[in-house]
Amino acid sequence: MPDEPYEYAEWKRCRVNLDYHVEIAKHYYSVPHNLVHQEVETRITQKTVEIFLRGKRVASHLRSTLPHRPTTIPEHMPSSHRRYRDWTHERIRSEAAKVGPDIETLIDVILRSRPHPEQGFRSAIGILGLVKRYGRERVDAACARALLLNARSYKSVAAILKNGTDRTAPPTEEAPILFHANIRGRSYYN
């Protein structure tokens, strides 16, 4: 008799996505990043997912049932992605505090608004990176504007800086708001 009991396995062909993961039952498993766009075969058992390229195993993961979540091995990541691993909540907040109070507040809002704070790391690190190009004062002013507009992304802050609206006075509540004669206005519904 064999040393281990028979284990049922399913095989599936997958194409490696741009983010160097393959999707199996709504969960994402990493493969080495140089396999992007390659077609691979996966062997799926109750406990493991193995990924093969031309018969050679390139990755193996414990199977996960969490939908729409990734399982990533750091060695599979390109070096440009690995550098984000070194960022922590504390480091991001500390770097933001060095720039100014508005960027610190915006980054805190970004990190708290995501189901998992790590999902806000790219936006936060991107906003911090704008300091090299535009300077501390402008980025902090752009973050103040973004907070007023309830904009919580790198793209919003970058657009504010690109358009120069960080240098203009923000709209105030006292400024007259022009309405068409048939519209009752904000105060009607309060």
- Digit-coded pLDDT (tens) for 101-121: 999 999 999 988 876 666 788
Mean of the per-residue pLDDT values for the chain? Answer: 86
DSSP sequence for 65-103: --TT-EE--GGGS-HHHHGGGG--HHHHHHHHHHH-HHH
- Digit-coded pLDDT (tens) for 117-165: 667 888 898 999 999 999 999 999 999 999 999 998 999 999 999 999 8
Q: 157: closest CA among 147, 169, 172? A: 147
CA angle 114, 116, 121 (to 5 degrees): 75
Q: What is the pLDDT of residue 170?
A: 67
